[in-house]
Structure 1
Amino acid sequence: MLVKRFQDAQPYEAPNHHGVVGLRLQGFEAGGPENQWLGYSQFLPGGGAGPDSTPFEKVYLVLEGQMTVLASGREVVLGPMDSCTIAPGEIREIVNRSNHVCKMLVVIPYPAKVT
């Protein structure tokens, strides 16, 4: 078992994101998860990401606030404890259109290893 305390979480920069502070809660360390990593993102009002896509799926879970997700011609607003899966290659954009900070967990698989 690997326990990591929130106070020890390290910030990370996510490409094509703005108005956000990301913390890595689990992943990329010895004894940690082998298949995916867990991030905690705090999006300021107007903050967001994209539009872009990745070659792997990701799962978003809103803990607090609201996040608008645009993908596959749809637009949906996620609230507390709402989640969504973004498929590999799916172009998505997320934006916090509220005046409150949106706190969100993100689960992402590790990048493929080049052999």
Structure 2
Amino acid sequence: MFVKRFEDAIPYEAPNHRGVVGLRLQGFEEGGPKNQWVGLSQFLPGGGAGPDSTPFEKVYVVLEGHMTVIASGHETVLGPLDSCTIPPGEVREIENRTNHMCKMLVVIPYPPGA
């Protein structure tokens, strides 16, 4: 078992993101997960990401607040404990359209060669 305390989470910058602080909860460390990494994204009001896509799928789980996810021409609002999977290559945009912070877990496979 590999335990990592929240106090030891390392901040990271995600490309094409705005108004967000990301913390890497698991991944990219000795003894950590081998297939994917887990981040905690804390979006300020008006914060978001995209539009863009990645060559691998990702999973979003909203822990607190609400996040609007725009993909394939459809908008969906995710609330606490709602989740979605974004398939590889799908263009998505996410926006915190509320006046409250949105906290979201992000699970993403490692990029090739990581």
**Range of TM-score over shorter length:** over 0.9
What TM-score comes out, normalization by structure 2 length?
Answer: 0.98
Q: Indicate yes or no: 2:37 matched with 1:37.
A: yes
Structure 1: tracts of 5 or more residues without a match: none
Question: For residues 91-110 of structure 1, what are the alpha-carbon distances to aligned partners after superposition, in whole Å with 9 as ceiling and x for unaligned?
Answer: 00000000000000000000
| Residue in 2 that maps onto 1:11 | 11
Q: What is the CA-CA distance between 1:82 and the residue it aligns to? A: 0.2
Q: Matched residues in 2 for 1:26 and 1:52: separation?
A: 24
Q: Indicate yes or no: 2:67 matched with 1:49.
A: no
Local SS of the residue matching 2:22 = strand
Structure 2: tracts of 5 or more residues without a match: none
What TM-score comes out, normalization by structure 1 length?
Answer: 0.98
Q: Percent identity, aligned pairs only?
A: 81
Question: For residues 25-83 of structure 1, what are the alpha-carbon distances to aligned partners after superposition, in whole Å with 9 as ceiling and x for unaligned?
Answer: 00000100000000000000000000000000000000000000000111000000000
What code does the residue aligned with 1:17 have? Answer: H
Q: Matched residues in 1 for 2:35 and 2:8: separation?
A: 21
| Residue in 2 that maps onto 1:91 | 91
